């Protein structure tokens, strides 16, 4: 009987995001495909070091081990490698005891067309073109920054932090701020405080995490080991619409920080997320030296002919 991924949180991650393949990427770009192929075949039994998305993937997969007989998360390797050059990836997956059994090995072809086929909830990559194509196709996707130097210690909880506008929520209000300024933005938010914000690209991911929290049946009675945070540049009076929107979605955020323009880096370092998602280059650049960070590109729609 075919297995369904419809009711699972499915994370699609590139091999370069899961493992440290920067040296191999340099070989591919500097010496070409054939030298890259030779290098991977010669070194296929050399275990790769963890990459930028490794900690988040490992933490999410632990959920399945805590609930025997029930799965919440699936991870799919999505790589432009061919099957011939992928053995090193699978050997590394086995070495780290990661419960990953599904893969897309496209042999150089684009990955975005396969996201819907695997019901991918979140796509993570270090290749900007693949991330942008995924976002344009309507998927929640993020371009990962390299791991910060200060690797975080192992945490019992899965911790994920989100920016608000253009990430959890749509960029409707953000566009007003960018084009008309802070006073117009605050006026718009006051006038629409009772109207829920439209969903942004990561709304479904947040809702899925909230669903897992509410339906997690841990044998020892403990709650799901997931903790979420909203770290937004908003402040009063623009806070009210955010709070009412989350109520309307029936979603509870564990920790909320209305930063009011203060840099987010120190709060993020204290929260210690496995991943922080933001759409702004500046916020991501500052956060990336402290915590693992993923930038969410703006969706680019084709212009009408």
Total structural domains in the chain?
A: 2
Tell me: do 21 and 126 sit in the same domain. yes
Task: Render pLDDT for 121-170 as a digit per residue (tens, 0 to 9).
Answer: 999 999 999 999 999 999 999 999 998 876 655 677 899 999 999 999 99
For residues 5 and 13, what is the distance between their CA atoms, to the nearest angstrom?
16
Q: What is the C-alpha end-to-end distance of the chain, expressed in Å?
A: 45
Tell me: do 119 and 37 sit in the same domain. yes
Tell me: do 65 and 100 sit in the same domain. yes
Contacts of 3 (CB under 8 A, 6+ apart): none
Tell me: do 79 and 193 sit in the same domain. no
Tell me: do 219 and 115 sit in the same domain. no
Residue 303 is assigned to a structural domain of this protein: no
Among the candidates 144, 172, 196, a domain finishes at: 144
171 is catalytic: no
What per-residue confidence (pLDDT) applies to 5?
67
Catalytic residue among 163, 171, 278, 279: 163
Are the CB atoms for 203 and 169 separated by under 8 Å?
yes
Are the CB atoms for 136 and 300 separated by under 8 Å?
yes
Among the candidates 117, 144, 171, a domain finishes at: 144
Q: What is the CATH number of the domain that holds 259?
A: 3.40.50.1000
Tell me: do 120 and 189 sit in the same domain. no
What per-residue confidence (pLDDT) applies to 67?
78
For residues 70 and 222, what is the distance between their CA atoms, to the nearest angstrom?
16
Residue 4 is assigned to a structural domain of this protein: no
Q: Is 122 helix (H, G, I), strand (E, B) or coil?
A: strand
Residue 120 is assigned to a structural domain of this protein: yes
Domain limits for position 285: 158-295
Question: With a threshold of 0.75, does the pTM exceed it?
Answer: yes
Please identify every stretch of the chain with a pLDDT value under 70, giving residue numbers as ranges: 1-7, 150-154, 218-221, 302-305
Tell me: do 68 and 167 sit in the same domain. no
| H or E stretch covering 275 | strand 275-278
Q: Which two tokens stand for residue 54?
A: 């490794």
What per-residue confidence (pLDDT) applies to 275?
96
């Amino acid at each position: 009987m075919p297995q369904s991924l419809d009711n699972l949180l499915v994370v699609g991650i590139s091999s370069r995001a899961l493992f440290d393949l920067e040296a191999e990427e340099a070989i591919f770009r500097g010496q070409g495909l054939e030298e890259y192929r030779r290098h991977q075949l010669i070194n296929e039994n050399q275990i790769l070091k963890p990459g930028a998305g490794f900690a988040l993937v490992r933490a999410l997969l632990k959920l399945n081990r805590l609930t025997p007989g029930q799965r919440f998360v699936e991870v799919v390797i999505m790589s432009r490698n061919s099957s011939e050059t992928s053995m090193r990836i699978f050997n590394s997956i086995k070495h780290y005891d990661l419960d990953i059994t599904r893969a897309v090995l496209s042999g150089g072809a684009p990955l975005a067309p396969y996201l819907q086929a695997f019901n991918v909830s979140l796509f993570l990559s270090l290749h900007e073109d693949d991330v942008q194509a995924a976002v344009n196709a309507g998927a929640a996707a993020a371009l990962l920054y390299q791991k910060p130097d200060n690797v975080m210690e192992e945490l019992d909880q899965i911790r994920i932090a989100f920016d608000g506008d253009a990430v959890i929520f749509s960029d409707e209000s953000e566009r007003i701020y960018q084009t008309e300024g802070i006073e117009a933005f605050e006026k718009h938010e006051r006038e629409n405080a009772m109207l829920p914000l439209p969903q942004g690209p990561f709304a479904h991911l947040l809702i899925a995490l909230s669903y897992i929290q509410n339906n997690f049946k841990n044998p020892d009675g403990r709650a799901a080991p997931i903790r979420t945070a909203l770290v937004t540049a908003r402040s009063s009076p623009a806070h009210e619409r955010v709070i009412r929107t989350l109520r309307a979605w029936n979603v509870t955020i564990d920790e909320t920080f209305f930063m009011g323009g203060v840099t987010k880096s120190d709060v993020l370092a204290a929260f210690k997320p496995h991943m922080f998602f933001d759409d702004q280059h500046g916020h991501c650049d500052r956060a990336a030296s402290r915590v693992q960070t993923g930038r969410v590109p703006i969706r680019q729609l084709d212009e009408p002919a």
